[in-house]
Structure 1
Amino acid sequence: MGKTILITGGARSGKSGIAETKALSLAPRAVYIATAEVRDHEMASRVARHQARRGAEWVTHPEPLDLVGALRATDGQGPRLVDCLTLWLTNLMLGGHDWQAEGRALVDALHRQADPVLLVTNEVGGGIVPDNALAREFRDAAGLLNQWVAAAADEVILAVAGLPLKVK
């Protein structure tokens, strides 16, 4: 069974960079499973910056919804970095999908992977209570999904100011 590593932290905490470095410490090449959906110019710029930071050691596998299928399709190709769970959750929720069933399927799939899986996610519950129902539902869903994946993970890293702090 492959190792599962969850990297969490706030916005701009350095989680993606920490995850990329860790993935390439496991093998000379890695697969980047990108969950972002490019819907506007600002998001296109973010994706381009992420892609520019990564080198030829990375193979990108875009998958905004079928994360379990992406893990199945890329197992055997080296470490996989999923960036990020909170964007995946957003895609599921906005698309009307059953995020709880998908989250449970993800946790189940993580136990069956031969190659390592690193997952980046955001800690979203550390601020004020959101002022609208959708934002509160998302915050709660992200918190639960993060707990499920953290429980299944072999290692959990909290990114703070660009520094990795081992939690589990």
Structure 2
Amino acid sequence: MTGGARSGKSAIAERLTLELGGDPVYIATAEAGDAEMAARIALHRDRRGSNWTTREAPLHLAEALYATDGAGPRLVDCLTLWLSNLMLAGGDWQQASQSLAAAIPSQSAPVVFVTNEVGAGIVPENALARAYRDAAGLLNQSVAAVSQEVYLAVAGIPVKVK
């Protein structure tokens, strides 16, 4: 599930994950680095309710997929936060992205990913923002290539792309 900011991606992805049946697992990539982000995380947690098992994976996403495979459908929210965590930590985002893309086809339980479309706006003025925009586009392409379905969220409406 991809889309712009506040396009309804997470809520749509939560519904899609629940429709898969079984006990849902939420793989969270966000970290509460400030009060505003903590409030966003709490909002997501409250909306999901208590029937979700949560696993935090701010950096080691492929490992989290392997560890939770078979535990029910998984929702990863979100790839672009995971990417920013990797880049800011000085991690090798290209290797991590390759590992993630390699892990996806081997999963026995379904995985729904949330990610942001960040390249549809103006060219950012600083090098870090441009590198992030480019990396997010490449990450989204690699995950979409190995995914069975891809949806774009537009104004809260899922549009099937693949």
Alignment correspondent of 2:68: 74
1:74 aligned partner, one-letter code: T
Alignment correspondent of 1:131: 125
Matching residue within 77, 80, 83 for 1:89? 83
Q: Render the CA deviation track for 1:105-139: whole Å, top value 9, x for unaligned.
A: 00000011010010000000010000100000000
Q: Secondary structure at the match of 1:139?
A: helix
Map 1:9-158 onto structure 2 (within 5 A). Answer: 9-158=3-152
2:55 aligned partner, one-letter code: H
1:70 aligned partner, one-letter code: A
List gaps (5 residues or longer) in structure 2: none
2:26 aligned partner, one-letter code: Y
Greater strand share, structure number? 1
Contact 2:27 2:57 in 1 (8 A): yes
After TM superposition, what 4+ stretches of structure 1 lie above 6 angstroms from structure 2? none
**What is the distance in 2 between the residues matched to 1:68 and 1:54?**
23
Instruction: Between the two structures, name the one with larger relative contact order (CA 8 Å, sep ≥ 6).
Output: 1
Q: Render the CA deviation track for 1:61-97: whole Å, top value 9, x for unaligned.
A: 1110000111011111000000000000000000001
1:48 aligned partner, one-letter code: A
List gaps (5 residues or longer) in structure 1: 1-6
Aligned residues: 162
1:62 aligned partner, one-letter code: E
Q: Secondary structure at the match of 1:50?
A: helix
Shift of 1:37: 1.1
Shift of 1:103: 0.2
1:97 aligned partner, one-letter code: G
